[in-house]
Amino acid sequence: MQFTLQLPILGFESVTHMELKKIDDIFMRLETMDGGPSFTLINPYALREYSFDIPTSLQAAMQIDQTTNLLIFNIVILSSTIEDSTINFVAPLIFNTDNQTMAQIIIDNRPDFAIAEPIRNYLKGQCDE
């Protein structure tokens, strides 16, 4: 599914359109339409309790209300092993599937969200180190 950015992805301000592709039930791939950067995304709700407020101005720009179909994903920085890969919980990506808009926001003042949290923290005993 293709999306138009309402707010840019940090560091990629010139990117205006992206395509979201499903890998499996937990991971997605986000690619630019012109062959530029791509990102591996993860469904945070498959790992942990995760909630935050979407700023009112962004709700208006993306036409979000109580009935809007939203997807929330976080960028994963892949390492040589999945256990050493990290998740950015501070800057989620929000996708409105009703009108194909998306944005990245920054969540301030949440000590329970890290910018580079290892996936190993969520593997529940599958990683014995």
Domain-by-domain residue ranges, the chain?
A: 2-122
List the CATH code of the domain at 2-122.
Answer: 2.30.290.10
Check: CB of residue 77 under 8 Å from CB of residue 85: yes
The tens-digit pLDDT sequence of the chain (129 residues) is 999 999 889 888 889 999 999 999 999 999 998 778 899 999 999 999 999 999 999 999 999 999 999 999 999 999 999 899 999 999 999 999 999 999 999 998 889 999 999 999 988 754 444
Distances (CA, A) of 109 to 59, 74, 92, 113: 20, 18, 14, 9
